[in-house]
Every structure is written in C-alpha cells, then in structure tokens.
Structure 1
Amino acid sequence: MSRTTLIAIFAGVTALLLAGWGVALLWIETGVTMTMHGWIAYALGGIASLALSIGLFWLLFHSAREGHDDLDRPEELDG
C-alpha cells in the first residue's frame, strides 16, 4: 500500500470517529436517550447506506472498465 493510500485511510477513519464523537456529544447535551432497538436501527441504517454506496460505486467502475459504457456504433455520432 502506498503512503498516500494510508494517509487517506487514516484521514477517513479519523473523520468518521470525530463525526461520531460530535453526534454523541450533541445527543448528550440535548438529553436524547435511545433504547437498544434504536441503536440497532441506527447501526443497520448506517450499514445499509454504506453497502448501497459501495455497491453503486462498484457497478459504476465495473461498467466503465468492462466497456459497457462505450458506444456500439460510432457512426451514429455523425448526427
């Protein structure tokens, strides 16, 4: 793994942890309490959002690399 990749991963994890810490502080300050079912729903929503975004990005890059986005008939570009 290159140094740039490691820095990007570290920055992403740090941003994620800081965002979680900020949300936790906000909830504590406003007096919000959640049951275990709420935490489970919160985690499942986050995991589903992450899985959806990863899946869509994978489809995008796979389609571009396999040539599915290329034109089949370039003669139609003449108008």
Structure 2
Amino acid sequence: MNEPTMSARLGVASWIILIVLVSLLLATCVVAYLGWRLADGVDVPISGYIAMAVGVVVSLAVGFGLMALVFYSSRKGYDEAPVLVVPENDPKEHGSPSNKLD
C-alpha cells in the first residue's frame, strides 16, 4: 500500500503556518528565558503574591464559568441552528387562504 508521506499531505500554506507557529514558540521560550534570568535576585512583596493568587483564582473561575455555559447551552439545544416556527392559524402567514386575492 502506498501511504502518502507527511510532506505530500501538507501544502505550502500549511508549511507556512507551521513555520510561523514554531517561530512564535521559540520566540516565547527566548523571552521567558531572558525574563527568568533578568529577574534573578528581585524580591516580590507579599502584595505581589496576593495579587498573583487572586488573578489565578479569578482566571480559573472565568474559565470554569465559560466552560459550564458552553456545556449548558450545548445540552439544552441553544447551539442548534435557528428555525422559523409559524403557527398554522396565523392570518399574517403569506400562504394562508385569507390573504389570497380572488
């Protein structure tokens, strides 16, 4: 069996996206390393640790809340495509006999 190789399945746009993402990952690692090295010996006050802890707790609460809303809306059917429901006895309906000319 001839299975296509990875390079045969990826087009030029896919390779560009992959290169950009890997470059961003490397740049992030360099910035994190430089930040770690430059912050050596810096003392953080207690208020800094408290602010960081509050920020982490609030971020987690927002994340959990949004995920709960996603699951709730998915289970209740709020994510379904909209459908126009017209009652059968509505006189404003365009196809009803009361609106047709003789």
**What range is the shorter-chain TM-score in?**
0.5 to 0.7
What is the root-mean-square deviation in Å for CA atoms of aligned residues?
2.2
TM-score by length of 1: 0.53
Larger gyration radius, structure 1 or structure 2: 2
- Quote the Cα distance in structure 2 between the aligned partners of 1:40 and 1:31: 20
Q: Which has the higher helix share?
A: 1
1:47 deviates by: 0.5
With CA pairs under 8 Å and 6+ residues apart, which has the higher RCO, 1 or 2? 1
Runs of 4+ more than 2 Å apart: none
Q: Deviations over 1:33-76 (max 9, x none)?
A: 111111100100000110110000000010000111112417xx
Structure 2 unaligned residues grouped into runs of 5+? 1-35, 85-102
TM-score by length of 2: 0.42
| Count of residue pairs the alignment pairs up | 49
Structure 1 unaligned residues grouped into runs of 5+? 1-25, 75-79
**What percentage of residue pairs aligned between the two structures are identical?**
38
SS at structure 2 position matched to 1:31: coil
